[in-house]
Structure 1
Amino acid sequence: MKQKKNREKAMVIGLLIMFVLIAGIALFPVFALVIASLSPASDLMRYGLTGELFLSAFDFQNYEALFGSGETNYWSWYANSIIISAVLIVVSLFFSSMVGYALALYSFKGQRFIFLLVLVIVMIPFEILMLPLFRLMTSLQLVDTYLAVMLPLIVAPIAVFFFRQYAIGLPKELMESARVDGCTEYGIFFKVMAPLMLPSFAAMAILQGLSSWNNFLWPLLVLRSNDMFTLPIGLATLLTPYGNNYQVLFSGAVLSIIPIILLFLFFQRFFIAGLTSGGVKG
Structure 2
Amino acid sequence: MGPKITNALVFVILLIFAVFCLAPFFFLVISSLRPGVEMIRQGISLNIDFSALNFDNYVLLLDGKEGIYLSWYFNSVVITVVHTLLSLLLTSMVGYGLAMYNFKGKNAVFIIVLVVMMIPVEILILPLYELSISTGLIDSYLGVILPFVVAPMSIFFFRQYAQSLPRELLDAGRIDGCGEFKIFFKIMLPLMKPAFGAMGILQAMFSWNNFVWPLIVLRSNDMLTLPIGLQSLITPYGNNYDILFPGAVMSVIPIIILFILNQKAFISGLTVGGVKG
Length-normalised TM-score, structure 1: 0.96
**Partner residue, 2:167:** 172
**Quick one: which of 136, 140, 146 aligns to 2:131?**
136
Structure 1 unmatched runs, 5+: none
**Partner residue, 1:125:** 120
Alignment of 1:191-206 (within 5 A): 191-206=186-201
Matched, 1:190 2:180: no
What displacement does 1:244 show? 2.0
Matched, 1:9 2:8: no
Structure 2 unmatched runs, 5+: none
Alignment of 1:28-47 (within 5 A): 28-47=23-42
Counterparts of 1:160 and 1:39 in 2: how far apart (Å)?
45
What displacement does 1:49 show? 3.1
Task: Report the AA paired with residue 232 of structure 1.
Answer: P
What displacement does 1:98 show? 0.1
In structure 2, the CA distance between the partners of 1:271 and 1:117, relative to structure 1 (3 Å rule), is same
Counterparts of 1:71 and 1:40 in 2: how far apart (Å)?
16
Whether the 8 Å contact between 2:60 and 2:66 is mirrored in structure 1 is no
Bigger drift between 117-126 and 91-100 goes to 117-126
Bigger drift between 194-203 and 237-246 goes to 237-246
Task: Report the AA paired with residue 49 of structure 1.
Answer: I
Identical positions, percent: 54
Task: Report the AA paired with residue 65 of structure 2.
Answer: G
Whether the 8 Å contact between 2:215 and 2:228 is mirrored in structure 1 is yes
Counterparts of 2:267 and 2:192 in 1: how far apart (Å)?
13
Counterparts of 2:219 and 2:6 in 1: how far apart (Å)?
56
Whether the 8 Å contact between 1:238 and 1:245 is mirrored in structure 2 is yes
- SS of corresponding position for 1:187: helix
What displacement does 1:117 show? 0.7
Counterparts of 1:125 and 1:49 in 2: how far apart (Å)?
36
What whole-Å deviation, never above 9, does each CA across 1:19-67 have from its counterpart, x for those lacking one?
Answer: 0000111111101100100111111001223454221221222112112
Counterparts of 1:197 and 1:71 in 2: how far apart (Å)?
43
Counterparts of 2:78 and 2:46 in 1: how far apart (Å)?
33
**Quick one: which of 213, 221, 235 aligns to 1:226?**
221
Alignment of 1:150-169 (within 5 A): 150-169=145-164
Whether the 8 Å contact between 1:175 and 1:188 is mirrored in structure 2 is yes
**Partner residue, 2:106:** 111
Matched, 1:83 2:78: yes
**Partner residue, 2:18:** 23
Whether the 8 Å contact between 1:35 and 1:51 is mirrored in structure 2 is no
Q: Let me know the Cα RMSD of the aligned residues.
A: 1.1
Counterparts of 1:152 and 1:63 in 2: how far apart (Å)?
34
What displacement does 1:269 show? 2.0
**Partner residue, 2:61:** 66
**Partner residue, 2:234:** 239
Counterparts of 1:269 and 1:18 in 2: how far apart (Å)?
22
Length-normalised TM-score, structure 2: 0.97
Whether the 8 Å contact between 1:28 and 1:51 is mirrored in structure 2 is no
